[in-house]
Chain A
Amino acid sequence: MGIDFQNVEFKYSKKASKKQLDNINLHIDAQDEFIMIVGHTGSGKSTLVQHMNGLLLASSGTIKVFDTNMIRSKKIKLKPVREHVGLVFQFPEYQIFESTVLEDIMFGPKNFGKTKDEARELAIKAAHLIGIKDDILERSPFTLSGGQMRRVAIAGALAIDPDILILDEPTVGLDPKGKEELMNLLVRMHEETHKTIIMISHDMNIVATLAKRVLVMDKGKLVYDGNKENLFQNQTFLKTHNLDLPTASILAMGLKEKGLITYGKLPLTKEELFQVITGDIPNE
């Protein structure tokens, strides 16, 4: 179960010399994974995740998503795949179109054959999970703020109740507070439901705090697949693939250079840095 990629290659057209995806091998479990995909602009991150729910189909190689072979054929049924794997695009607030928030969240489940009452139940559950208050549900989505609209859009994907939820840069364009709130909600949701979450992100601080597994894409190739600690230890690797360090790590390295602190393992988050400096676990 889950998602399996084997020697996957993708080009926009047969004649194109540039491979958007180049020899990708990958397995993602249907439960308990929290994966961050990082990489430079144009490295193929979005192309990769679009293969996971059949928006794009591979030029060669095999992709298996929950027992469905994703091949280019007229008989292929993509709808069941999309029920298992939810995808939330960048700036998802643009996909909202219904007249009330609740109706818009119900749109997904209704498309997958749920009755009105079932859809309403799923929608309310998803709304609570992502922190949408009841009094907003009957309002028009177009009167909401950007952060709230984004939550509504993510709730729309959650209401389908997918096993795997993919988010393409969910925090881009939000203010710092909105960013943190959204990330905390996603983490809480992950802990409650054990759904696999795959997230594309440019923000190394988020990667350093949350990721259980990191995938690094560069020029269509999957160049790293593993935990975050090993990734951030290897400075030369980060440099060759144009990746940044988390802010806390940069600060820690600066302090070490001045001889102010010493550490065995590079601190990645501000909590870890705090611990290195004071020797204490932050109580706040």
Chain B
Amino acid sequence: MNDKIVFGQYIYRNSAIHKLDPRVKLCVLFMMMIGVFLIPADNFILLGIAFLIPLTAVILSKISLFKYLKSLKQIAFIMVFSFAFQLFMPVGKNTTILTTLPICFSYVNIIVCIFILVIYFLIRRYLPFKFLFFLVCLIGIIYLLRYPILGKAFYTTKLDISEAGLIHGSFLVLRVFVIILASTSLTLTTKPTDLTNAIEWLLMPLEKIKIKTSIFAMMISIALRFIPTLFNETNKILKAQASRGVDFNEGKFKDQVKQIVSLLVPMFVISIKRAEDLADAMEARGYIPGAKRTKLVQMKFCIGDFIVFFVILALLVGLILGRCGLYAL
């Protein structure tokens, strides 16, 4: 409906991070990913240093923290799940056990828990703070399971929360957090077209073994360019077919299939026609697949790019040497 559908999450600001060369940003993200997983387990100091890198990017990018948190929200569930999993994992005998959660199952308990879950799934979509609500429900259920309500529990067990489990769990979550923050700061500050250009440049060595990377880069940027267009076309066809009495929500299964066909066939026709037109237009302007092309926006490294790249590289090399045992980390 809205004409201004922009693909990707790019937000324009005039900041140092935005001006940083996309190739450097991509390399830094790649090195971050390797580095964060090379950090020895439970070494919070090194993880803290790694965390400083995306944090600087976040602060320098002039984009509100809220936008970053939004992308974290999508994986918050997985993070909580893996944290809980690590927390209750039985670890070796040597660690101190912090607390023990007794868990009792009685019939009333289970029914109440199911009731809470049903309510959670019913009213979830109407609440602004879904994640907070999820946490409240989770803690509520854990507390409920501590005491048998009405009658005897037929099964009791206990879950140990050990110190090692707590440390492992939080380390794992922080590790994922750092990587998500870094990749979000890349997608928020880099245009999709710049990103494809950067990928094309980084894949240049493949041209040596006769793989035409420029064609793939062109394909990616065309696909990105046409997502909003096709979205608009779909909307138009949907409206046109709705005027002809199509209702995608009702009717027998056979009718529904037919109604989806009434959307799919025109979409194929339009896409093929557009592809043909685009191919003609590209050929008319002298595009030859795989031929050498010049770029409208020339990517140029400047001193800042080199500094960022080599600082991160130095950190990564230092980490790798440490892991190899040259010195203690």
Contacts and interface: CB of A to CB of B under 8 A. Distances in A.
A255 to B, nearest CB: 43
B247 interface: yes
Nearest to A13: B2
B270 interface: yes
Interface string B262-282: 101110011000000000000
Contacts, number: 58
Interface stretch (A88-96, A126-134, A186-194, A260-268): A88-96
A82 interface: yes
Nearest to B265: A97
Q: Which of B241, B245, B266 gathers most chain A CB within 10 Å?
A: B245
A136 B50 CA distance: 70
Interface of B: 1-2, 233, 236-237, 239-247, 261-262, 264-266, 269-270
Contact of B240 (A78, A92, A112, A160): A92
A235 interface: no
B245 A55 contact: no
A108 B244 contact: yes
Contacts of B243: 53, 55, 82, 86-89, 157
Interface in A42-100: 50, 53, 55, 78-79, 82-83, 86-89, 92, 94-97
Contact of B244 (A12, A50, A107): A107
A142 interface: yes
Interface-central residue, A79, A95, A96, A108, by most chain B CB under 10 Å: A95
A58 to B, nearest CB: 15
B236 A82 contact: no
A246 interface: no
B242 A82 contact: yes
A108 B266 contact: no
A170 B92 CA distance: 77
Given A82-B242, A111-B246, 7 more contacts: A12-B2, A94-B237, A95-B237, A95-B244, A95-B262, A97-B264, A142-B269
A220 interface: no
A107 B236 CA distance: 18
Nearest to A168: B240
17 contacts: A12-B1, A55-B239, A87-B243, A89-B236, A89-B240, A94-B233, A94-B240, A94-B269, A95-B241, A97-B264, A97-B265, A97-B269, A107-B262, A108-B245, A111-B244, A111-B245, A111-B247
